[in-house]
Amino acid sequence: MTHATDSGAVIARRALPGAPLLVAAGGARPDRVPVWFMRQAGRSLPEYRRLRASSSMLSACFDPALVCEITMQPVRRHGVDAAILFSDIVVPLYAAGVSLDIVPGTGPVVASPVRAATDVANLPELAAGAVRPVADAIGLLLPELGEVPLIGFAGAPFTLASYLIEGGPSRHHERTKALMHSDPRTWHALLDRLADLTRTFLQAQIAAGVDAVQLFDSWAGALSERDYRELVAPHSAKVLAGLGVPRIHFGVGTGELLGAMRTAGADVVGVDWRVPLDEAVRRLSAALPDGPAPVVQGNLDPAILLADFAVVEREVRRIVAEGRAAGGHIFNLGHGVLPDTDPDVITRVVELVHGLEP
């Protein structure tokens, strides 16, 4: 398979027809349930903490050799069925020229929040060349991964907008919701700009060779279904349209939004731990009753990994059983790996999932 890059060059894409994750993402049954973990390349691994001790998050995200090594660490240690590119959802904003920093213990902090139409007009656009180090990291990773798929990712327009408007992480997203409802014209202009930026970032990753992508709408669960459908979903749909690789769409606290999220166009919908997978399948099926059986990803509560392994095993078996209601199931957590998680427990979960009937 070939793919044209932004420069017009044509690169050969990897053919991984037997990769369990890609088989499941296509709505078929692989020979085993594929498993990977959000935040698998990160804070729970002592080798990651040693490697990151002398570098900031943003500088690490633009160091191709470091990105390659961090992305590979959980693949080597756990035997997961996919790698996810080590990066951050604000990387394309930073690369475009937005003044921000990732503050340890806080998260992304934006120097000049976006609060008015003039702020939106002044937002810089992202050129694919600005994320060349990310593409270079992918080039280093593909030979290392062999038959293991690589997932690229980006933040969805709503979640990026929340960071830009609030100036950083927010519990209630009050300024975001106020702008959304009081000035819908400016709101849609902002999300349209962010959809273009996000799509450019994902296309750069795809051109470099990632095998699938995940769109993180981390804060979409703060919205009502009506607001999500009218004010957010069209912009996520713009990002996801026609990317040419399997697309996963995930948000936290989005149980009431699952049907609306499916209509945004992803191949796989990630489900957090609040909704059982079989119930999620029912909601997703109702959203597109004439469509194919939905494919789901999830959804072990990350906190369960800190319990006795007998509890972990019980919950893993339950989730795999519930996942059989779907057209395809990719085992994952309902959010990211927590920092205090014992890496050996993650490895045992992978072995357990692989031993269960798909």
Q: Write out 267-311 in H/E/C secondary structure.
A: CEEECCCCCCHHHHHHHHHHHCCCCCCCEEEEEECHHHHHCCHHH
Residue 328 is predicted with a pLDDT of 98
- Cα atoms found within 13 Å of the Cα of residue 267, Cβ hemisphere only: 20
- DSSP state string for 198-209: HHHHHHHHHHHT
Distance CA 119, CA 69 (A): 38
Q: How many CB atoms lie within 10 A of CB 357?
A: 9
Residue 8 has pLDDT above 70, yes or no: no
Residue 42 is predicted with a pLDDT of 87
CATH top class, domain 2-354: alpha beta
- Cα atoms found within 13 Å of the Cα of residue 168, Cβ hemisphere only: 11
Provide the pLDDT confidence category of residue 211 given band limits of 50, 70 and 90: very high
172: left (phi over 0), alpha (psi -120 to 50) or beta: alpha
Provide the pLDDT confidence category of residue 3 given band limits of 50, 70 and 90: very low
175 tagged catalytic: no
Locate tokens 């059983």: which residue? 321
Distance CA 130, CA 95 (A): 6
282 tagged catalytic: no
Residue 12 has pLDDT above 90, yes or no: no
Residue 341 has pLDDT above 80, yes or no: yes
Determine which one of 48, 81, 94, 163 is catalytic: 163
Bond preceding residue 299 cis, omega within 30 of 0: yes
Looking at the DSSP bridge assignments, the partners of residue 3 are 11
Looking at the DSSP bridge assignments, the partners of residue 152 are 213
Determine which one of 14, 32, 43, 229 is catalytic: 43
Both tokens of residue 337? 């790996």
Residue 13 has pLDDT above 90, yes or no: no
Mean pLDDT of 19-31: 97
Distance CA 280, CA 273 (A): 10
Determine which one of 52, 193, 199, 247 is catalytic: 52
Under 8 Å CB-to-CB from 219, ≥6 apart: which residues?
158, 159, 162, 170, 173, 251, 252
- Cα atoms found within 13 Å of the Cα of residue 354, Cβ hemisphere only: 14
Q: DSSP letter at 221?
A: G
Determine which one of 13, 32, 39, 282 is catalytic: 39
Residue 60 is predicted with a pLDDT of 96
Residue 280 has pLDDT above 80, yes or no: yes
Residue 11 has pLDDT above 90, yes or no: no
Percentage, residues of the chain above pLDDT 70: 97
pTM of the model: 0.95
52 tagged catalytic: yes
**Burial environment of residue 33 by CB neighbours within 10 A (0 to 12, 13 to 18, 19 or more):** buried
Determine which one of 88, 119, 196, 227 is catalytic: 88
Mean pLDDT of 307-316: 98
Task: Determine which helix (DSSP H) or strand (DSSP E) holds 249, and give its type and residue range.
Answer: strand 247-251
Longest Cα separation, the chain: 56
pLDDT in tens, 48-97: 999 998 889 999 999 999 999 999 999 999 999 999 999 999 999 999 99
Enumerate the domain spans of the chain: 2-354
88 tagged catalytic: yes
